[in-house]
Chains A and B, each alone.
Chain A
Amino acid sequence: QVQLVQSGGGVVQPGRSLRLSCAASGFTFNTHAMHWVRQAPGKGLEWVGFIWYDGSNKVYGASVKGRFTISRDNSKNTVDLQMNSLRAEDTAVYYCARDPPHSGFRLDHWGQGTLVTVSS
């Protein structure tokens, strides 16, 4: 069955960096785009960005552009989110999610979520 298992997260000081990882199994990883979505405490879902199935294109949300980088390793079936210059407002539960080919950005499977807390 499809599984997305996330790791990383934790407490980090403002201005520092953190890396999240998402390990995929149970499907053909290199045919799926992958997204990161976050939810700040008491807020709704916010799209962070996504990476094409082959890693050739990446698109980011305005609030993280220039600070966050999404990468993937199709040989290891993993997708990472490198978060730099972290701010208090980046505090959130972060989810990775699968986007099947030609699906109209349908996020049909999600990771379990990982909490990132940015605080001094």
Chain B
Amino acid sequence: QSVLTQPPSASGTPGQRVTISCSGSSSNIGSQIVNWYQHLPGTTPKLLIHTDNQRPSGVPDRFSGSKSGTSASLAISGLQSEDEAVYYCSAWDDRLNALLFGGGTKLTVL
């Protein structure tokens, strides 16, 4: 059971908008920066969103991040088949003194 809680799965059809949640606490999301990673099968994890809501260069603006209190969300609009991947939220926890990853959400494009 991860300290950062994500739904194990999400799905949508091409063109739809999907949202993936990440729930934490005051010692992690509530006081620390949230980053999101995309992990496609057979590849290296890729930084998708940093500093809660910033996209690295090259990441399409279909991807967006937000944070409120002790929860964060990743939204993907205009869903495409190549978005099928596992998505992880991550944040430092200053009580555990550890970098946390959520359990991951497997996104399926129907």
B50 touching A44, Cβ below 8 Å: no
Chain A residue numbers with a CB within 8 Å of B101 are 37, 44-47
Q: B99 contacts which of A47, A103, A113 (Cβ < 8 Å)?
A: A47
Decide: A104 and B44 in contact? CB cutoff 8 A: no
Interface size on B, residues (CB 8 A): 27
Asked if A68 is at the interface of the complex by the 8 Å CB criterion, the answer is no
- Identify B56's interface contact among A35, A37, A108, A113, CB under 8 A: A108
Docked-complex contact B98 and A45, CB < 8 angstroms: no
* Nearest Cβ on chain A to B27's Cβ, whole angstroms: 14
Binary flags per residue of A92-115, CB closer than 8 Å to B gives 1, else 0: 000101000001111111111100
Is A66 among interface residues, defined by CB-CB distance under 8 A?
A: no
Tell whether, in the assembled complex, residue B44 and residue A112 are in contact, meaning their CB atoms are under 8 Å apart: yes
Q: Which of B44, B96, B97 has the most CB of A within 10 A?
A: B44
Q: Is B65 in the interface zone, CB < 8 Å from A?
A: no
With A106-B50, A108-B56 in contact, do A45 and B33 touch (Cβ < 8 Å)?
no
Min CB gap A23→B, angstroms: 15
Q: In the complex, which residue of chain A has the Cβ closest to the Cβ of B100? A: A47
B63 at the interface (CB under 8 A from A): no
B97 surroundings in chain A (CB, below 8 A): 59
Partner of A105, one of B92, B96, B104: B92
Bits for A24-44, please: 1 = Cβ < 8 Å to B, else 0: 000000000001010000001
Bound-state CA distance A37–B50 (Å) is 17
- Asked if B44 and A105 make an inter-chain contact with CB atoms under 8 angstroms apart, the answer reads no
Asked if A61 CB lies within 8 Å of chain B CBs, one says yes
Q: Complex: how many Å from CA A62 to CA B93?
A: 13
Residues of B whose CB lies within 8 Å of any CB of A are 2, 32-33, 35, 37, 39, 44-47, 50-51, 56, 86, 88, 90-92, 96-104
6 residue pairs of the A-B complex, CB under 8 angstroms, read A44-B104, A50-B99, A105-B90, A106-B33, A106-B50, A111-B44
Q: 15 new A-B pairs (CB below 8 Å) besides A47-B99, A61-B99? A: A37-B45, A37-B101, A45-B39, A45-B45, A45-B88, A45-B90, A50-B99, A103-B50, A104-B33, A104-B35, A104-B92, A105-B32, A105-B33, A105-B92, A110-B46
